[in-house]
Every structure is written in C-alpha cells, then in structure tokens.
Amino acid sequence: MLTYAVAPSGQSVSSGFYLERADLPWIVEVPSIASLGGVRFEFSTVGTGGPFVPAMLPFPLMGAGAGQGPQTYVWSEAGPGLSLAYDPVPSPFCRVAVQNSVATVSTFTIHALAN
C-alpha cells in the first residue's frame, strides 16, 4: 500500500495525510533533492488538518542515533533514498516535514510493509 505526501515548492511541510494501515511498519522514499537538511514526520491526534507535532521519542526500529536531539528525524542526507520510518506510528494522521524548504514540488512515497 502506498501513500503520497507532496510538499509544494518553497514549503517545508507536505499536506496532511491519513495512513490506512498505521498498524504496519512503514518506510519513506525520499526524492532526489539537495539540501533537505532532515526529514521527519509530524503527527496529529485530531485529523489531517493538524495541529501537528514532531515525534520526540526514540522508536525501536530506527537507525543509529535514533531519538537524539529534540526531534526524531527519519532521514538526514540528500535524496534519493529509503528509510525505515516507524513501527508503530503514534497516530495515523501525519505529514512530512523537512528542515529546509524544498526548491521544487517534492513527493515523498510512504510504503506500508505487509506482514
């Protein structure tokens, strides 16, 4: 199952989206963009319109350095690439946020991993 998150040109966040299978582990496909600075997911408890907050806890399936710093990033390099995101997710309502605004429209693909 795929979910797409689109960040408009000049913005640092995508629109909110709903993960149908929030019970599954999932990964994010980061597009080929220079100077992202960091990719993270922000979550909402009330819906895809927010308000959104970043994940602040270390999640057990993340790579080296998980949970360090005030926010937990799932990607810290220039794209392209794939990164294991969360298992489980704190909420099915989320959006993608990048540290630096994107220069062009950028689409992040979220892949739910089936059991």
Question: What CATH number does residue 76 fall under?
Answer: 2.60.120
- Tell me the residue range of the domain where 48 lies: 1-115
Does the pLDDT value for residue 70 go beyond 60? no
Grade residue 34 by pLDDT with cuts at 50, 70 and 90.
low
pLDDT at 86: 66
The reported pLDDT for the residue numbered 49 is: 87
Per residue in 11-29, pLDDT (tens digit) is 889 999 998 877 788 888 8
Total domains in the fold of the chain: 1
Answer with the residue of higher pLDDT: 114 or 45: 45
DSSP assignment of the chain equals -EEEEEEPTT-SBPPPEE-TTTTS-EEEEE-S-S----EEEEEESS-TT---EE--S--TT--TTTT-SSS--SB-S-SSEEEE--SS-S-SEEEEEESS--SS-EEEEEEEPP-
Please provide the average confidence, as pLDDT, over all residues in the chain: 77
pTM of the model: 0.75
Asked whether the predicted pLDDT for residue 69 surpasses 50, the reply is: no
